[in-house]
Amino acid sequence: MLDFAAARERLLAAARGIERVETLPIEACLGRILAEDARALSDSPPGDVSTLDGYAIAVRDLAPAGETRLRVTQRIAAGQTGGPLEPGSAARIFTGAAMPPGADAIVAQEAARREGDEVVFARHPAPFEDVRRQGEDFRSGAVLVPAGTRLAPAHLGLAASGGIDRCSVFGRLRVALLTTGDEVVPPGQPLHPGQIYNANAPLLSGLLQQLGCEISHVEHLPDHFDTTLDGLKRIAPACDVILTSGGVSVGEEDHVKSAVEHLGTLDMWKVRMKPGKPLAFGHVLGTPFIGLPGNPVSGFVTFLLFARPFLLASMGATTPAPRPIRLPAAFARPRASERREFARGRITADQRVELYANQGSGILSSLGWAEVLVELPENETLAPGDPVNTYLLAELMA
């Protein structure tokens, strides 16, 4: 069995980014992977602007002491431009409005009083106080969002603020999702003795859609070697990645592993982890293949820790490794395990981490309860209060 870190490194090293690129309106780019740097087309802000409602003045016109009295000669609302500020004058100005030439500070309206066509105030603002300077946020030509970024709403807003209305993004990754098992039937049908409902198809389909993949095929394969072989042979040329659930363990009815070896290569099999030991990776007729364990929890955990990073890299994304937070354990682990474990947990009110009572790999209810994966290192015992690496599921699935 491969060590967890070595297996993850090997899988990521094998990822090859897709080359399909398309240009889309920025409103259609949410969740897509940027193929080229998004560079600002203008400064932001494009000129000096007022940060509040008040009066634009020139610091040179401030009285040496006491109150300053200036004539109000113009009114500038947001979206308008004013004329040059005459000596001894002020401009009534509103939040977001462009500063008139010659003005270099703002006096807030609360700090001033209006007397006819004059404004009177005692404040002595510093030069450019309450003024957003031209290019304060970024300059024209600056890289606003680097290539490889998975575009979130904030990225879209930032790009738009730089004048960008279209982005070059990588095409969607086409993933074929195949579940297996003669005992597995679709929800909605009556269960016969020995059968279970197919939870993996909607679980993994949801994770793939959340990631922004295009699911090119969703099929269920029976426990039959020739049928599995024909299905893989038919699907491989029509997708970018094959993702399977089940059929990669050591049983006589686990045909996916042998079918992959018949059609291509099995480059990795078995990882020293729990749950998820039977994880497999290889190629079917040149198409990358990831074989997840059939137990729903095992499939969920291995998808987040292995398949998801591989798929993101294949999509062209540059993403950091998962970032754990260190929290004290609210549990004991008196016996060490030879495998690294990822347990379903939840953060308590006093900022400790507790575990779901039943950590079995078929206990799907634990996923609805959990908010974190808790990393339990191999060959270590734990006592309450010991710090453990804790991964937020919200971040792992973002």
CA distance 224 to 233: 14
Query: How many percent of the chain have pLDDT more than 70?
Result: 99
- Strand-pairing partners, residue 214, are 174
Give the CA count within 13 Å in the CB-facing half-sphere of 219.
16
Distance of CA 5 to the CA centre of its chain: 22
> Burial of 187 by CB count in 10 Å (0-12 exposed, 13-18 middle, 19+ buried)?
exposed
> Burial of 64 by CB count in 10 Å (0-12 exposed, 13-18 middle, 19+ buried)?
exposed
**Chain segment 130-179, per-residue pLDDT in tens:** 999 999 999 999 999 999 999 999 999 999 999 999 999 999 999 999 99
Query: How many percent of the chain have pLDDT more than 90?
Result: 96
- The least confident of 44-58, 65-79, 249-263, 299-313 is 249-263
Please check whether residue 199 is in contact with residue 368, taking contact to mean a CB–CB distance below 8 angstroms. no
CA distance 242 to 215: 10
- Strand-pairing partners, residue 75, are 92
Query: Is the pTM above the cut of 0.85?
Result: yes
What is the pLDDT at residue 308? 97
Place of tokens 């005692």: 122
**Chain segment 368-396, per-residue pLDDT in tens:** 999 999 999 999 999 999 999 999 999 99
**Chain segment 213-262, per-residue pLDDT in tens:** 999 999 999 999 999 999 999 999 999 999 999 988 766 678 999 999 99
**Chain segment 74-90, per-residue pLDDT in tens:** 999 999 999 999 999 99
**Chain segment 130-144, per-residue pLDDT in tens:** 999 999 999 999 999
Say yes or no to pLDDT of 96 above 80.
Answer: yes
109-122 mean pLDDT: 97
What is the pLDDT at residue 249? 77
What is the pLDDT at residue 43? 98
> Burial of 213 by CB count in 10 Å (0-12 exposed, 13-18 middle, 19+ buried)?
buried
